[in-house]
Homo-oligomer: A and B are copies of this chain.
């Protein structure tokens, strides 16, 4: 079962906070980041748990599963390649590139991203300096 666009937004934020910035992921924090009510956050986390993208321990936070991490990394890879493309080939500024990438990363296919990645010469980092994950060949 695949994630919805909203759920994808959660995964991207959770991965970044937890695995790249070492920050804690709590309901209130997510609610602030996403500009929704805490109840809404809980609901979405429960859905992501049901879909096996994370383990949700009520009152005690979440932990991304294997497939949750993979999915998050795929999304962030797309996001960062898009940013690199927008800044490198289309003269976008970082901030605007990030905004555009936020919408597109969910809708663009793995295939197109891989092609763009080649076109860019397989960059290591996005314009903001964040690591661009490798394409995990299979699936």
Contact = CB atoms under 8 A, between A and B. Distances in A.
B107 A90 contact: no
A115 interface: yes
14 contacts: A86-B112, A90-B115, A90-B116, A90-B119, A91-B115, A92-B115, A96-B111, A100-B111, A103-B107, A103-B109, A104-B107, A104-B108, A104-B112, A107-B107
Interface of A: 86, 89-92, 96, 100, 103-104, 107-109, 111-112, 115-116, 119
Number of copies of this kind of chain in the complex: 2
Interface of chain A, main secondary structure: helix
A16 to B, nearest CB: 22
Contacts of A90: 112, 115-116, 119
Nearest to A90: B115
Contacts of A112: 86, 90, 100, 104
Contacts of A119: 89-90
Contacts of A100: 109, 111-112
A125 to B, nearest CB: 21
Contacts of A111: 96, 100
A65 B25 CA distance: 49
A116 B116 CA distance: 13
Contacts of A89: 119
